[in-house]
Amino acid sequence: MNRRVTVNRLCVATFTAALFACDSKPKVADTPASDATAGQLPAGESFLDVPGGKIWYKVTGNGSGTPVILLHGGPGFTSVYLKSLEAIGDVRKVVRYDQLGSGNSTKISDTAMFTIPHFVAELEALRAHLGYDKIHVLGHSWGTILALEYYRAHPERVASLIFASPALDIPAWEAHARKLVKTLPDSSQHIIEKREAEKNYQSPDYQAAMMEFYGKYVWLRPIKADMDSMFAGANMEIYNYMYGPSEFTTVGTLKHYDGTRYLKNVRVPALFLVGDVDEADPATVKRHASMTPASEYAVIANSAHMITWDNPADTNRLVSSFLNSR
């Protein structure tokens, strides 16, 4: 993603088992998606062959507790902004990975792979490769859609679910984003309205207005190096196809996604987290928690959408407390 495009929102037909299934453990690629060789990767990092390419993953921690796998937002962004959660690895292994098409994983442009079932099957392939019988699943933004749909496809593999700044109801998300736009200065609102009518989403003034929105509701205290990596590794083809051209205009395949009707069927402990000025909307997230049996809800103070940047200490504390009690 270049700096002039928006941060995505942050998103079940079951896949045919044959797509990722094999008689033996999937093999780790001998060469990564980048020019380096797998042997040059730091300890804990590797690549896994999946249909369409290779996914990069990193395992941190030596604890014996049930592992947790982190699912980044997007679709089409990267896991780099979740790395502060690696600090909870004193109790369990923490796995973060870049979904196919983004970050350190193979770049793809085949829209046949830009689907929820593809990403669900990819996560299941990673779990199986790592040999984990059960996992905790932590999703952020679009990653919460992936977490919920993974649970629906493989409930026997999930010990608990963490929905961080969830995007489980895209129509409601877009409606709330439109309300937040009304809090911007009139001049910014006018630019957004004008450029969207023109479908001119790359206009510098439109992008500037979007960044103004981000600074209020997406991040308050971004980590520059991680932000640079996130933008450099983002795949806007995936984001645009699945979500749309901007935060406020949803025309992609996720436009009508609403997973809230499945929340009543969640039979594992669930934790809902949201920043106090999060574009995910604390009121919406609290309502979703109330729809979920055995769920907990907490607001991260002084945080927008990127809670792992804005308040990593409280985020890690709440995540650790929830996981350690399971």
Map tokens 């981000």 to a residue: 214
Which residue is catalytic, options 46, 105, 141, 246? 141
Q: Is 278 a catalytic residue?
A: yes
- Main-chain phi, psi angles of 45, to 5 degrees: -105, 145
Q: Is 258 a catalytic residue?
A: no
Which residue is catalytic, options 72, 246, 305, 310? 305
Nearest-angstrom CA–CA distance, 227 and 171: 27
Which residue is catalytic, options 278, 281, 310, 314? 278
**Per-residue H/E/C for 24-84:** CCCCECCCCCCCCCHHHCCCCEEEEEECCEEEEEEEECCCCEEEEEEECCCCCCCCHHHHH
DSSP class per residue in 269-309: -EEEEEETT-TT-HHHHHHHHHTSTTEEEEEETT--S-HHH
Would residue 141 be called left, alpha or beta, if left means φ above 0 and alpha means ψ between -120 and 50 degrees? left
Hey, which bits of 98-175 come out as E strands?
135-140, 158-164
Helix (H/G/I), strand (E/B), else coil: 160: strand
Q: Is 288 a catalytic residue?
A: no
* Active-site amino acid positions: 141, 278, 305
